């Protein structure tokens, strides 16, 4: 035994230049590269394990348990011993093909702890902790072994203990949808069950008092935390149960229809459980932990077919009821003629993509119909839509078509046609598709966020990779950073998007919505929020609906809310002639670097991004229902340079409620290092472009 440990340690030392932790020990500790965070893991006399995370002398996460329950096998919660432990460190940087920034620093200390049960069935696994300056990731790795083959996990028992009663920004732990409004409450006041009755969701299932991730917290000591997961592969999505008695969150996995949580076979790994830690809320947005914990890009060869772009859509007109997806309605939106009108609009406005929804047959039996298997056809256009001619016309004008596949949550029907549908796109030179999963999953009982669907969503990404098609998923599985491994997984909804403003009976998205989203959902990855509404009052189509912030706020979203596929959502006739369209024409979609200049969840945020492959900077600032004066220092610009500044700001008498479209555009010169004063009105914002002279 001793000899075995000695040799295995030696091997690890040689292979990874790591430092062994004390042998035959019951605890292992590591510190973050900057020495600020400390992770320790202990196993007590009963073989019960716990990890804890500290920052200096302050507990970030007090002792928190780990473990699993299985079907037809004993639970794995006690009787553990540490067989071996090895620590190592890594410092590298890697390049993203597209993203919020080109280069990503990956710098951590790692502990790999080999655990074995002290009594039969003597199962083994490895706990891996990676500690970064900005937080912790850890996962369970189950190697192939004699006494553990096929497993059904009925519960994962990972805990996230809390100190005091932190403020939380949360959505309910819905197993079918993330399109809920964010709530700000104390941990002790989280009541997800009160969010069950919801008039505007086509699917929803909230079995217990739990939240979805990312969930953001502010501790009583003033630290900002976010809990999430990275690399969700062939496993169930994790919600976090609210255990008020023990003051902690606990993993609560989304189930299969038969009640199982995860069906696996060794060897397999769980996703990484992540805890981001920041002094300033904005540092949560700048953190790259989620991406770093994913595997490197597996797509080989030339990736130039994966194109960040602005896109318009035959889309908003359906949500406004001006037209319909369904041809039988008599007001079909996706006609050849209408598509050409939009292509002209795109070509005139530096918009390189056009999404066309409602182009294919099946829309007469989608939302609300219980039997939706075999209804949608992903290769057959309605007879008033000439797909090939639209693609050809687009090419002539430099506009590429974005395909649309609404599955109406019948994924088996989609799976059957997947290869054919993606081959059609490849043959037409279409390199992006927006998918959708509206409604309860068929077969009944499977959930959007369960392992069965996690597998489906991944098959789609892989099929996309095979046929050179990028994915923008609506009603998706949460983003856990797999865009690092599959850069064709570009964007997704997975939040309450712009569409709610057009039809929600609860009055659309509140004024502070996107100041919440920036510090919660956006920590997971790109968001297809679909900005670009100029006709904020939606006249004449929806006189009772509206957008609840100012036009300058709406324009700022192009920078604040990150997506490599960024929509210009309004109708051509609403946007044409608007002075703010110059901003839409100018703004970049792919970034060299990103800096969060200020902000607090639910209140305000300012983000600056430098365009990739260029020297222009773009800044977006948004505020909630409170007016705000923000001073921003242009210390990230070249100190010796003069820049032409163009500001799109709220008019002096603008107000989200009474005068949302009043906007002033100002141009002047500034120098690197200058201080800019921004005045945002209630619900207001500012959009800035800086061009070196």
Which spans in 349-450 are helix H?
387-397, 411-428
Could you tell which of Ca ion, ligand NOJ, none binds residue 174, using a CB distance below 5 to 8 A set by kind? none
Pick the closer one to ligand NOJ by CB: 405 or 467.
405
Q: What are phi and psi of 483, to 5 degrees?
A: -60, -25
The least CB distance from residue 497 to ligand NOJ, in Å, is: 6
Q: Spell out the residues 6+ positions from residue 163 whose beta carbon is closer than 8 angstroms to its own.
A: 58, 59, 60, 62, 219, 220, 221
Shortest separation between residue 199's beta carbon and ligand NOJ, angstroms = 16
Going along 143-266, which residue ranges are E strands? Answer: 150-156, 159-161, 167-170, 183-186, 210-211, 215-218, 224-230, 238-243, 248-253, 262-265
Q: Tell me how far apart the alpha carbons of residues 365 and 412 are, in angstroms, rounded to a whole number.
A: 16
Q: Any idea what DSSP says for residue 532?
A: -
Show the tokens assigned to 499. Answer: 């569409």
Query: Residues 299-322, buried b or exposed e (16+ Cβ, 10 A)?
Result: beeeeebbbbbbbbbbbbbbbbee
Report how far residue 21's alpha carbon sits from residue 513's, in angstroms, rounded to the nearest whole number: 47
Mapped onto helix, strand or coil, the DSSP state of residue 281 is helix
Residue 496 Cβ vs Ca ion, minimum distance, rounded to whole Å: 8
Nearest approach in angstroms of CB 272 to Ca ion is: 27
For residue 440, the minimal CB distance to ligand NOJ (Å) is: 14
Q: How far is the CB of 587 from ligand NOJ (least distance, A)?
A: 21
Which phi and psi angles does 456 have, rounded to 5°?
A: -65, -50
Give least dist CB 27 to Ca ion, A: 47
Closer of 200 and 642 to Ca ion (Cβ): 200
251 vs 498, beta carbon nearer ligand NOJ: 498
Residue number with CB closer to ligand NOJ (434 or 484): 434
Strands 49-55 and 58-65: antiparallel
User: Which secondary structure element, helix H or strand E, spans residue 501, and what is its range?
Assistant: helix 499-503
Q: Where along the sequence are the contacts to Ca ion (CB under 5 A)?
A: 474
Nearer to ligand NOJ, 193 or 379 (CB): 379
Q: Shortest approach of ligand NOJ to residue 200 CB, angstroms?
A: 12
124-132/103-117 β-pairing: antiparallel
Q: Of the candidates 271, 277, 131, which has an alpha carbon nearest to the alpha carbon of residue 217?
A: 277
Give me the least distance between CB of 408 and ligand NOJ, in Å please. Answer: 8
**Are the CB atoms for 339 and 397 separated by under 8 Å?**
no
634 touches which of ligand NOJ, Ca ion, none (CB within 5 to 8 A by kind)?
none
Q: CB-wise, 112 or 474, nearer to ligand NOJ? A: 474
Residues in touch with ligand NOJ (CB under 6 A): 315, 357, 406, 436, 438, 474, 493, 499
Phi, psi of 286 (to 5 degrees): -80, -15
Q: Say which entry of Ca ion, ligand NOJ, none residue 155 contacts (CB below 5 to 8 A, set by partner kind).
A: none
Which residues, 6 or more positions from 302, have their beta carbon under 8 angstroms from its beta carbon?
none
> Which one of ligand NOJ, Ca ion, none is in contact with 570 (Cβ closer than 5 to 8 A by kind)?
none
- Based on the residue annotation, tell me whether 666 is a catalytic residue of this protein: no
Q: Which of 499, 554, 592, 611 is catalytic?
A: 499
Please, which residue, 476 or 601, has the CB nearer to ligand NOJ? Answer: 476
* 101 versus 203: smaller Cβ distance to ligand NOJ: 203
Q: Which of 534, 574, 537, 570 is nearest to 554 (CA)?
A: 534
The Cα 235–Cα 224 span in angstroms is: 28
Structure tokens at 491: 């964007």
Closer to ligand NOJ by CB, 256 or 316: give it: 316
Q: Which two tokens stand for residue 249?
A: 């969150």
Host H or E run for residue 290: helix 289-292
Using the Cα atoms of residue 151, residue 295, residue 522 and residue 159 in order, give the sign of their dihedral: positive
Q: Smallest gap, in angstroms, from Cβ of residue 362 to ligand NOJ?
A: 11
Q: Residue 477 gets which letter from DSSP?
A: P
Q: Which is nearer to Ca ion, 99 or 497 (CB)?
A: 497
For Cα atoms 97, 102, 103, give the angle at the middle one, nearest 5 degrees: 115
By DSSP bridging, strand 617-623 and strand 604-611 are antiparallel
- 315 makes contact, choosing from ligand NOJ, Ca ion, none, with CB < 5 to 8 Å by partner type, with ligand NOJ
Going by C-alpha positions, the residue among 590, 522, 612 that lies closest to residue 560 is 522
Tell me which residues are annotated as active site: 499
């Amino acid at each position: 035994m001793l000899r075995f440990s000695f040799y295995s340690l030696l091997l690890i030392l040689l292979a990874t230049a790591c430092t062994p932790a004390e042998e035959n020990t019951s605890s292992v500790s590591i510190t973050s590269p900057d020495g600020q965070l400390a992770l320790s893991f202990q196993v007590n006399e009963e073989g019960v394990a716990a990890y804890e995370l500290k920052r200096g002398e302050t507990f970030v996460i007090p002792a928190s348990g780990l473990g699993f329950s299985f079907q037809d096998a004993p639970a794995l919660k006690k009787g553990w011993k540490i067989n071996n432990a090895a620590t190592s460190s890594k410092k590298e940087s890697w390049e993203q093909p597209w993203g919020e920034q080109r280069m990503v620093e990956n710098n951590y200390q790692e502990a790999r702890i080999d655990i074995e049960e002290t009594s039969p069935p003597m199962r083994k696994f490895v706990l891996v902790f990676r500690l970064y300056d900005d937080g912790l990731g850890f996962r369970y790795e189950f190697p192939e072994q004699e006494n553990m083959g096929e497993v059904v996990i009925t519960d994962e028992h990972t805990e996230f203990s809390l100190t005091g009663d932190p403020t939380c920004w949360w959505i309910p732990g819905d197993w079918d949808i993330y399109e809920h409004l964010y709530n700000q409450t104390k941990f002790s006041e989280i009541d997800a069950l009160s969010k069950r009755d919801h008039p505007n969701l086509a699917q929803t299932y909230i079995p217990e008092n739990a939240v979805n991730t990312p969930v953001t917290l502010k501790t009583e000591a003033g630290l900002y935390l976010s809990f999430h997961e990275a690399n969700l592969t062939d496993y169930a999505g994790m919600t976090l149960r609210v255990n008020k008695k023990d003051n902690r969150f606990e993993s609560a996995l989304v189930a299969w229809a038969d009640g199982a949580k995860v069906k696996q076979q060794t060897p397999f790994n769980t996703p990484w459980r992540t805890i981001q830690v920041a002094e300033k809320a904005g540092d949560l947005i700048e953190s790259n932990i989620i991406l770093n914990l994913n595997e490197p890009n597996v797509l080989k060869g030339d990736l130039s077919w994966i194109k960040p772009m602005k896109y318009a859509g035959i889309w908003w007109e359906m949500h406004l009821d001006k037209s319909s997806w369904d041809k039988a309605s008599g007001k079909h939106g996706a006609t050849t003629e209408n598509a050409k009108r939009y292509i002209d609009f795109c070509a005139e406005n530096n918009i390189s993509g056009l999404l066309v929804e409602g182009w294919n047959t099946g829309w007469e039996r989608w939302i609300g119909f219980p039997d939706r298997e075999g209804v949608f056809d992903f290769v057959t256009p309605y007879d008033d839509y000439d797909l090939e001619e639209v693609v050809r016309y687009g090419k002539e004008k430099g506009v590429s078509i974005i395909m649309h596949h609404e599955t109406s949550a019948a994924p088996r029907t989609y799976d059957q046609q997947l290869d054919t549908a993606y081959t059609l796109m490849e043959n037409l030179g279409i390199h992006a598709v927006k998918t959708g999963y509206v409604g309860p999953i068929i077969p009944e009982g499977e959930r959007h966020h369960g392992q069965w669907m996690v597998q489906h969503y991944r098959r789609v990404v892989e099929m996309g990779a095979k046929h050179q098609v990028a994915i923008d998923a609506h009603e998706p599985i949460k983003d856990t950073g797999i865009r690092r491994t599959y850069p064709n997984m570009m964007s997704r909804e997975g939040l309450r998007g712009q569409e709610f403003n057009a039809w929600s009976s609860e009055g659309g998205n509140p004024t502070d919505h996107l100041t919440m989203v920036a510090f919660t959902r956006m920590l997971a990855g790109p968001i297809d929020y679909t900005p670009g509404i100029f006709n904020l009052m939606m006249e004449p189509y929806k006189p009772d609906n509206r957008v609840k912030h100012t036009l300058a706020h709406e324009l700022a979203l192009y920078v604040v809310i990150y997506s490599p596929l960024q929509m210009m959502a309004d109708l051509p006739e609403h946007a044409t002639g608007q002075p703010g369209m110059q901003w839409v024409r100018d703004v970049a979609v792919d970034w060299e670097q990103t800096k969060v200049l200020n902000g607090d969840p639910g209140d305000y945020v300012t983000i600056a991004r430098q365009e990739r492959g260029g020297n222009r900077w773009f800044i977006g600032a948004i505020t909630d229902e409170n007016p705000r004066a923000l001073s921003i220092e242009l210390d990230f610009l070249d100190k010796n340079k003069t820049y032409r500044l163009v500001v799109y700001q709220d008019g002096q008498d603008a107000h989200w409620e009474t005068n949302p479209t009043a906007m002033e555009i100002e141009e002047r010169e500034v120098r690197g290092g200058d201080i800019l004063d921004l005045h945002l009105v209630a619900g207001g914002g500012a959009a800035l472009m800086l061009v070196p002279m």
